[in-house]
Structure formats: structure tokens, C-alpha cells
């Protein structure tokens, strides 16, 4: 038989001596195996899961060293975790020290690589139990001998177990080295019970690892789908795509800061990894309803903009009025000159130039009004009305028409920003659409709060927000965090079509006023300032000229 060193003994699990002690030891190790299986299924992080698998296998078989390999799509075995306790030799996983070894080829020259014991186990699905690598036949242990020579170690007994998942696929190999006798401390062979325990653990581990990988792939697919939605919004409007990225980032920053708070009203708040993932998904989806918002409303950068900026229509009308003034002037002037009234003709010229100056002044005024700003004065709104009444013009059909339509007057007299009340309602409807879309989805238990977190970022602490008019007590901490993040991102955003991004000090002053008038949560606002969340966000997303010096003592509503 080629591999006489492979232990296929099917004899008794224990010798005659110390039968009771051995039975008790096996029971304890079976209990360990049961506990390990439960912990494997609960671990979400792949690297920690791999470490847990190898550590558990070493513990349950009393092995001094071990390696965990994973099968790659390139038909190799990649070193994932390497551990040798007696040498304090730890590579891979969460150690921060990558494994420097080349992957083991499963095939060489298109033939199965049966010379390497780990490759043999992966290819055949058989466990290999070797009493002494230095005397074993049929396998190449050149690399093992080189390692021993370099480190002074003596690799002796090997137990190499394929990791087979529920679909009967080999996804990895678990290799254990140097079983240790619990009494003498001597290096011994891996017993049949060690082998069976390791095989049972490898089977559980393979299933846990496969499940975690499948879950990770589903989560990646889900997140990619969300990013696709946000990309669709971005394609409609380049001004909201960045918003969909930045709000989740700032929300998580603030939530983590609250999680780290050990005093004050929010000291009891804490998040698990599941809570973090749930909030992350909610942040990514908080504006998904904007796919329903007309792009000309989202991107309305001037008051007269619809699909195009109608200020150019006004320019045309001003030119028509200018032409009419000129024709009227030329007629009157020609008539007066024909009558020899040169003084009167000169007066006509003077009045014409005065009217042109007024015309140009009114035209420039409407251009300024069209830009939109923080607040429009009453006298400016009245002047828009006066211009609308003052001028008449003839359209291409020759009909006399109002200089400004009712809709143009309504837009040009918008008090703040560029949106009319109807357009604001359209914009505000995106949150209703978001909630409707999210509540229609069959969320799993660990994501059940996504609609509430995502749908609450336009609510106010005093109950005057929308769409549900919730109060602070009716909202989760996560939803309140997202409300602050949404506002602060909007204040500092430098990619909006209708305004420049504000500086830190300007934004914090406005945010402080929001805290004083019951718009945002006062305790979260305190954490936002005290733990410098605003500054960490600024360093990541703001332009250098926006990051000015902040005097926290002057921020409204904040007590240092």
C-alpha cells in the first residue's frame, strides 16, 4: 500500500488502562466541540472565524501547531492562518502579519499534486494521519524540514483534514502538527479519537465558513444593489449622489461617538455589529425615494429654472422692449426733426437713454433675483411686481403680452432658495416615497428597523417635522443621528447647484440654532461637538478653505 503512514486504524477508541479517565476526557472534548460549533455559527467576521476554527482544532486535539488553508478559484491552497504555540509563531488572520508562503498548487502539469499532503487531502477528500513526517513515505516534506532547520523546531505528527461543506465540496484543509500528551508533554501521534474530533470540527467549520461566505456574498449583492439605486439617483442629479454617500458616513461617525460615550444622558446607548450594519444600510437607503423626484426640481439651481433656465426668455423680452423703445424714439425724433424742433428731438434722445438705463438696471435686477439667496427683502419682491406691470411686449405673433407671467412672478419672488412651495412639497415627498418603498420590503429580523431609521431624518424633536410629525420620544437614537447628519451634510455640501458649501463655523452656528428651536436632538448635538465629530467629517469631505477655526464657546446651544 503506497501510503502505509496513513492511519486507518479502526480499533478501539481507548486502551484498557485508564478507560474511565479517557472516557471522561472524551466527554469533555465532545462538550468543547459542541460549544465550538455554536461559536462558529455566531461569528460574522471571516478572519476571526478562520482563527477560531484553527484555534479550536488545536485545542481539541492538543496540537502545538496548525495551518488552515482555503481552496482558491485558481486551484491552489492559500495559507490563511499559521499558528505554532511553542514558537509563539502567529501569522495571518487578525494578527496583521500576512502569511509569506506561496500557495500550494493542487495540479502540476495538469496532474493532481498528490505529493503534498495538504493538496492530497483537498483532492481526495481523505484525512491523512502521519505519526512522523521525517519517516513517512509518499509525501514531500521538504518545506517542513526547511522550516524546522530555520527555527529549530521538530515537526513530527501531522493530522491533515479536508474541510467539506454541506454540498460535498472541499473548501479548505485543516492541518494540525505535533499532538501533545497531556500528562508527559511529549509529542505523540494523533489518536483515532483526535482524528474523529478533528473531522467533526472540520465538517462544522466548513459549513459555518460556507454559510458566512454566502451571507457575505448576499450582503455584498444587497449593498451593490443599493449603490446601483444611488447611482441611478446620481445619474439623474450629480448633486445628490455625494449626499447619498456622505450622510451614511456622518451618521455612523456620530453613532460611534455616542456608543463610546460613558457619561451623560446617552451613556446607556450601545451598538453591536448587527446594529452597526442595520444603521449602515438605513443610511445608504435614506434617500432612495429620490428616484421618484423630477430631476428639474432636484437640480433647480435658479428660481426660473425648469428643464432650462427661463431667464433667457426674459433676456429676449428685454431685447424686444429695447427694440420697441428704439423704434418709438426714432419715429418721434424723425417727426420732430422734420418740424425743425431740434431741442425737442434732443429731449427724446435723453429720455430714450434714461429708459435704456432703467431697462438694463431692471434686467440685471431680475438676474440677481433669479439666483436665489438666504432671504429676499419685501422691497425687492415689490419691485419684481412693479417690473411685471411696467413693461409690455409683443410676442412672435405680434400680440401684446404681460412682461412676466404669474408663474414667473411667483418664482422670482421666492423668499429663500429657489423652490416654490409646490416644488418643496415635491422634494419633501421623497421621504414618503422612501418610507413606502422600504416598508414594502420583507426585511429580515436583523434589518427590521431600517425603514424607521431611514424614514425619520426629516422629523423634528418638537414634532413639527415631516412626514409623520414624530417627537423626540417617538424616535430612536439612530434616526435622530441621521437627522443631524442629513442637515450638517447639506450645510457643508459644496456640490449643490444653488449654493456654496458653508464653512465649519457657519454650519455649526446654524446647527446650534436648530438645536435651540427644537429641530435636532440636544444630547446628540452635544456629542457631535464635544467629541469633534464635525471636525473628523470635515477632514474627510470638506475643502480646506471650508475648515476654518471653530470657537466652540460661541456655538449656539452648546456649553463646553
Q: 373 falls in which pLDDT band (50, 70, 90)?
A: confident
More confident residue, 244 or 120: 120
Cell of 450: 431600517
Q: 46 falls in which pLDDT band (50, 70, 90)?
A: confident
| Residue 3 confidence (pLDDT) | 40
Do residues 460 and 519 make contact, with C-beta atoms less than 8 angstroms apart? Answer: yes
Q: Whole-number mean pLDDT of the chain?
A: 88
Instruction: Check whether 424 has a pLDDT greater than 90.
Output: no
Instruction: Check whether 546 has a pLDDT greater than 80.
Output: yes
| Residue 106 confidence (pLDDT) | 96
More confident residue, 417 or 283: 283
Q: 12 falls in which pLDDT band (50, 70, 90)?
A: very low
Angle between helical axes of 522-530 and 477-492 (0-180°, round to 10): 60
Cell of 500: 456654496
| Residue 170 confidence (pLDDT) | 94
| pLDDT tens digits along 190-210 | 999 899 989 988 888 888 888
| Residue 93 confidence (pLDDT) | 86
| Residue 28 confidence (pLDDT) | 64
| Residue 487 confidence (pLDDT) | 95
| Residue 148 confidence (pLDDT) | 94
Instruction: Check whether 297 has a pLDDT greater than 90.
Output: no
| Residue 386 confidence (pLDDT) | 94
Range with top average pLDDT, 149-158, 159-168, 426-435: 149-158
Q: How many CA atoms does the CB half-sphere of 159 hold within 13 Å?
A: 32
| CB-count burial class (<10 Å; 0-12, 13-18, 19+) for 380 | middle
| Residue 372 confidence (pLDDT) | 81
| Residue 264 confidence (pLDDT) | 92
| Residue 111 confidence (pLDDT) | 94
| Residue 499 confidence (pLDDT) | 65
| Residue 36 confidence (pLDDT) | 64
Do residues 448 and 439 make contact, with C-beta atoms less than 8 angstroms apart? Answer: no
- Give the DSSP letter of residue 81: E
More confident residue, 524 or 324: 524
Phi, psi of 125 (to 5 degrees): 75, 15
CA gap 522, 516 in Å, rounded = 8
Q: 48 falls in which pLDDT band (50, 70, 90)?
A: confident
Residue 69, helix vs strand vs coil? strand
Beta bridge partners of 541: none
| Residue 318 confidence (pLDDT) | 93
| Residue 398 confidence (pLDDT) | 79
Q: Which of 20-34, 367-381, 531-545 has the lowest mean pLDDT?
A: 20-34
| Residue 84 confidence (pLDDT) | 95
Q: What percent of the chain has pLDDT over 70?
A: 90
| Residue 19 confidence (pLDDT) | 62
Residues, the chain: 560
Instruction: Check whether 21 has a pLDDT greater than 70.
Output: no
Residue 107, helix vs strand vs coil? strand
Cell of 26: 472524551
| Residue 41 confidence (pLDDT) | 65
Instruction: Check whether 77 has a pLDDT greater than 90.
Output: yes
| Residue 300 confidence (pLDDT) | 82
Instruction: Check whether 11 has a pLDDT greater than 60.
Output: no
> Once rounded to an integer, what is the mean pLDDT over residues 354-364?
94
Q: How far, in Å, are 40, 116, 118, 120, 168 from residue 107 at the CA level?
A: 31, 10, 12, 10, 20
Instruction: Check whether 513 has a pLDDT greater than 90.
Output: yes
| Residue 426 confidence (pLDDT) | 87
Do residues 521 and 484 make contact, with C-beta atoms less than 8 angstroms apart? Answer: yes
| Residue 2 confidence (pLDDT) | 37
Instruction: Check whether 14 has a pLDDT greater than 70.
Output: no
More confident residue, 448 or 427: 448
| Residue 495 confidence (pLDDT) | 65
- Give the DSSP letter of residue 205: H
Dihedral of the alpha carbons of 411, 412, 414, 415, in degrees to the nearest 10: 180
Amino acid at each position: 500500500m503506497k501510503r502505509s503512514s496513513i492511519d486507518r486504524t479502526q480499533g478501539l477508541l481507548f486502551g484498557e488502562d485508564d478507560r474511565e479517565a479517557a472516557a471522561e476526557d472524551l466527554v469533555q472534548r465532545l462538550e468543547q466541540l459542541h460549544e465550538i460549533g455554536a461559536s462558529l455559527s455566531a461569528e460574522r467576521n471571516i478572519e476571526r472565524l478562520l482563527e477560531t476554527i484553527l484555534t479550536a482544532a488545536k485545542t481539541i486535539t492538543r496540537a502545538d501547531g496548525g495551518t488552515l488553508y482555503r481552496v482558491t478559484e485558481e486551484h491552489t491552497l492559500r495559507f490563511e492562518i499559521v499558528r505554532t504555540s511553542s514558537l509563539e509563531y502567529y501569522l495571518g488572520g487578525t494578527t496583521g502579519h500576512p502569511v509569506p508562503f506561496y500557495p500550494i498548487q493542487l495540479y502540476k502539469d495538469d496532474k493532481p499534486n498528490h505529493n503534498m499532503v495538504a493538496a492530497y487531502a483537498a483532492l481526495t477528500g481523505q484525512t491523512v494521519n502521519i505519526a512522523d513526517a521525517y519517516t513517512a513515505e509518499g509525501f514531500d516534506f521538504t518545506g517542513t524540514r526547511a522550516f524546522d532547520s530555520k527555527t529549530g523546531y521538530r515537526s513530527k505528527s501531522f493530522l491533515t483534514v479536508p474541510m467539506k461543506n454541506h454540498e460535498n465540496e472541499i473548501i479548505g484543509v485543516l492541518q494540525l502538527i505535533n499532538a501533545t500528551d497531556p500528562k508527559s508533554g511529549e509529542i505523540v501521534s494523533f489518536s483515532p479519537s483526535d482524528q474523529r474530533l478533528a473531522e467533526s470540527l472540520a465538517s462544522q467549520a466548513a459549513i459555518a465558513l460556507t454559510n458566512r461566505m454566502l451571507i457575505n456574498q448576499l450582503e455584498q449583492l444587497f449593498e451593490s444593489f443599493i449603490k446601483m439605486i444611488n447611482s441611478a439617483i446620481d445619474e439623474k442629479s450629480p448633486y445628490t449622489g455625494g449626499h447619498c454617500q456622505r450622510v451614511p458616513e456622518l451618521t455612523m461617525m456620530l453613532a460611534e461617538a455616542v456608543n463610546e460615550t460613558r457619561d451623560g444622558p446617552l451613556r446607556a446607548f450601545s451598538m453591536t455589529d448587527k446594529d452597526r450594519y442595520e444603521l449602515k444600510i438605513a443610511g445608504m437607503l435614506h434617500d432612495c425615494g429620490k428616484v421618484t423626484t423630477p430631476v428639474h426640481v432636484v437640480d433647480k439651481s435658479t428660481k426660473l429654472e425648469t428643464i432650462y433656465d427661463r431667464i433667457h426668455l426674459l433676456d429676449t423680452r428685454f431685447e424686444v422692449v429695447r427694440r420697441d423703445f428704439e423704434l418709438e424714439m426714432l419715429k418721434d425724433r424723425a417727426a420732430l426733426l422734420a418740424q425743425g424742433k431740434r431741442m425737442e428731438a434732443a429731449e427724446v434722445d435723453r429720455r430714450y437713454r434714461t429708459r435704456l438705463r432703467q431697462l438694463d438696471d431692471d434686467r440685471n435686477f431680475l438676474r440677481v433675483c433669479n439666483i436665489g439667496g438666504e432671504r429676499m427683502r419685501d422691497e425687492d419682491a415689490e419691485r419684481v411686481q412693479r417690473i411685471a406691470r411696467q413693461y409690455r411686449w409683443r410676442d412672435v405673433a405680434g400680440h401684446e403680452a404681460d412682461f412676466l407671467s404669474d408663474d414667473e412672478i411667483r418664482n422670482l419672488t421666492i423668499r429663500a432658495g429657489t423652490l416654490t412651495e409646490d416644488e418643496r412639497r415635491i422634494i419633501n415627498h421623497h421621504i414618503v416615497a422612501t418610507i413606502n418603498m422600504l416598508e414594502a420590503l420583507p426585511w429580515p429580523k436583523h434589518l427590521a428597523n431600517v425603514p424607521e431609521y431611514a424614514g425619520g431624518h426629516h422629523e423634528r424633536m418638537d414634532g413639527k417635522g415631516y412626514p409623520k410629525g414624530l417627537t423626540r420620544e417617538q424616535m430612536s437614537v439612530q434616526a435622530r443621528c441621521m437627522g443631524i447628519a442629513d442637515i450638517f451634510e447639506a450645510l457643508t455640501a459644496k456640490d449643490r447647484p444653488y449654493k456654496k458649501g458653508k464653512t465649519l463655523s457657519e454650519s455649526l452656528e446654524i446647527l446650534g440654532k436648530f438645536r435651540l428651536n427644537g429641530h435636532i436632538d440636544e444630547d446628540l448635538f452635544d456629542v457631535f461637538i464635544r467629541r469633534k465629530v464635525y471636525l473628523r467629517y470635515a477632514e474627510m469631505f470638506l475643502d480646506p478653505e471650508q475648515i476654518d477655526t471653530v470657537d466652540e464657546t460661541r456655538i449656539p446651544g452648546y456649553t463646553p
